[in-house]
Structure 1
Amino acid sequence: MTISLRTIKITLATVLAILLAEMLQLDYTVSAGIIAILSVLDTKISSLKTAGQRIVSTIVALTIAAVLFQLVGFTTFVFGLYLLIYVPIAYKLNVQAGIAPCSVLVSHLLLEQSTSFSWLMNEFLLMVIGASLAVLFNLYMPSKETQIQEMQHTVDEKIKGILLYFDQTLREGFSGNDDYQLIQELETTLDDAIRIAYTEFDNQLMKPQFYEIHYFEMRKVQASILKQMATNLRFCHLPTKQNKILAGLFYLTAQQLHESNPGTFLMQDIQELLNYFRTSPLPQSREEFENRAVLFQLLNEFTRFIETKQLFYEKYAPETK
């Protein structure tokens, strides 16, 4: 949610909460506005959850305060005693979001030296009005679906760029740390994408979709595999025929990289390449042996890269857009 949208929501919710409280002839009407300010949160789900917690917390707080004030008296000491009892109970009930606003409401009872039904109802209604109006205004949340789709495309393009860099490295040799920079940029983009996908999920009250979250998490696993491959690629020094074949596989994968590609044919290509490696003449030198070992390691890691996508596709293909 942008700062401008949040500002508008807070302003409208606060003003209307105060006006509604005044229409109902409540006391301490500004408190309803303050509660509205505290209840305008980042997502619909968080606003609803917090509003519910605060209403439950209000009932608990007012009950404890009313009993203590009636039994012991209206003093600052009793207010402290109320906090000693109420705060741990609020945490125990997982309604700690209401500790601050509810304690403000209880302070009104202390100031008025009364726990009459009318005053208890006054404080309860202040909470209901403030929390409800915040939830009402938070029901409008601009969809991030377009942004998520753009980030999916960006992530796929970054992975494609990394695979093409691997292709170039195997053909021409290692030439710098560009691969690490590319992978770091990919990881940063994925972290942002996952955060935005979770926000969008929390704004869907009806039939929320996990697809985008799982998609980015799948790509994050692949990014981790690519990082390990980049490390091993540094030990592949000799220009061999096997290098070029594996480079071609990276290039082919980059060209076929897409959300809806299950990777079936790529796995077949990997198996064919593994068979080719196994039937190739044995290395004639230590350098060739080490180079071949690195290629095998790269191929095994690349197999995990493709399998990660296959598992995702098998589970979520029906949701693919």
Structure 2
Amino acid sequence: MNFIGYRTIKTALGSAIAMLIAAAIGLKYGTAAGVIVILSVQSTKRQSVKIALQRMGACLLALFISSTLFNIFGYSAYVFGIFILVFIPLAAKFKLNDGIVVSSVLVTHLLVEKTTSISLIINEILLMLIGVVVALLVNMYMPSIEKDIKNDISRIEDIIRELLLHMSMALKECAISIKEEELFNELELKLNKGIQRAYRILNNSLFADNSYYAKYMDMRFQQLSALKNMRRHFERFSISYKQTEMIAEFTLRLSNSIHEYNSAEGLLKNLQELRESFTEMELPKTREEFENRAMLYQFLNDLEQFLIIKRDFKKHLKDNNIVDLY
């Protein structure tokens, strides 16, 4: 039974409940309520609410337009075609696209019955209402994926630590680790998976602000870009200097400081002190030395950007009263 997912179970249960409710209150075409549930169960709570509102709005618009046309021109396939020509552009204009198909099906009930009586109009409205409400209710249960995303975060931080450790070693040895490419690929995959889970959590929160994970993943994506820039500089390093050793040690220290609680403020201050100490050192003597030193300083700038991204992330959380979940 592992091939049957939660969404399938919820859809099956909801459609049956909707049809039973429709039958219990004596509605015609009660099976339509079950079909509406099938079409309305979504992957997130916010999406379900959005779909429900669109479908109710489209239903009322469709019933108004069709009733007017049927009463003026009669009940025929030609008039139904005119209804479609009028209804679809208007529904699209009012951003009710997700209600077009279901509402059009409900209008066929008026065509079959050849009446637009108040009782039949109410019947169609109730079918839509039962369908979307039941879909909303069954969709209130969403399996928690917070454990999964916390595991993603833990692995993402482990990979970043390892990448910085390799960079520190590469600075000292003037040689890039063969494992770096594998780590970068894994980091990108983990971030892509993490951002999907983060937005699922965000869109399953109807009232609370659960934007932390999405903002966290965005911050790490920006840091990934900075890490890639840092990596490119190694193609130009061929000589080790005293500054190289100092930056390597700082990179190693940064590797050991990768975690959620670190605001990066202290590290940024240390980096500035490191940069100031370089101004007191001997200037390069050859062109090769000058070019290597320039690349080394650019690496330091990218390292600074890496830290600024984290500092700004923590500051944004504080300024916007976003709950830090760690």
TM superposition score category, shorter chain reference: over 0.9
Q: Secondary structure at the match of 1:139?
A: coil
Report the residue type matching 1:130 in the other structure: G
Query: Deviation per CA, 1:201-237, whole angstroms, max 9, x where unpaired?
Result: 1111222222221111111111111111111122111
2-side partners of 1:245 and 1:252: how far apart? 11
* Secondary structure in 2 matching 1:84: helix
Q: In the TM superposition, what is the alpha-carbon distance from 1:3 to its structure 2 partner? A: 5.2
Aligned residue runs from structure 1 range 208-223, under 5 A: 208-223=209-224
Where does residue 94 of structure 2 map in the other structure?
93
Alpha-carbon distance in 2 for matches of 1:295, 1:122? 74
**Is it true that 1:310 corresponds to 2:288 in the alignment?**
no
User: TM-score, normalization: structure 2?
Assistant: 0.94
Which residue of structure 2 aligns with residue 179 of structure 1? Answer: 180
Which stretches of structure 1, 4 residues or more, deviate above 6 A after TM superposition?
none
For 1:119, the equivalent position in structure 2 comes to 120
How many residues align structurally?
320
Provide the rounded CA distance (Å) in 2 between the counterparts of 1:235 and 1:273: 22
Q: Which residue identity lines up with residue 146 of structure 1 in the other structure?
A: K
| Secondary structure of the structure 1 residue equivalent to 2:28 | coil
Which range is displaced more, 112-121 or 182-191?
182-191
The amino acid across from 1:185 in the alignment is E
Q: Give, in whole Å, the separation in 2 of the partners of 1:290 and 1:179.
A: 24
- Tell me by how many angstroms 1:176 deviates: 5.6
* AA of the residue aligned to 1:288: E
- Per-residue CA deviations over 1:243-298 (Å, capped at 9, x if unaligned) read 22111111100101111101122112211221222221111222211110000000
State the AA in 2 paired with 1:16. I
Which residue pairs with 1:236 in the alignment?
237
Partner of 2:192: 191
* AA partner of residue 303 (structure 2): F
Structure 2 matches for 1:42-53, cutoff 5 A?
Answer: 42-53=43-54
User: Which structure 2 residue ranges, 5 or more long, are not aligned?
Assistant: none
User: Structure 2: how far apart are the matches of 1:107 and 1:206?
Assistant: 37
Q: Matched residue of 1:279: which SS?
A: coil
Residue matched to 2:80: 79
Q: Is the 8 A contact 1:194 1:213 kept in 2?
A: yes
Name the counterpart of 1:15: 16
Please report the RMSD computed on the Cα atoms of aligned residues, expressed in angstroms: 1.5
Deviation at 1:302, TM superposition (A): 0.8
Give the residue type in structure 1 aligned to 2:217.
F
**TM-score, length of structure 1 as denominator length:** 0.95
The answer on whether the counterparts of 1:180 and 1:227 sit within 8 Å (CA) in structure 2 is no
Which runs of 5 or more structure 1 residues have no equivalent in the other structure?
none
Aligned partners of 2:204, 2:210: CA distance in 1, in Å? 10
8 Å CA contact retained: 1:262, 1:310: yes
CA contact 1:264–1:310 (8 Å) conserved in 2: yes
Equivalent residue number for residue 27 of structure 1: 28
C-alpha displacement at 1:181, in angstroms? 3.5
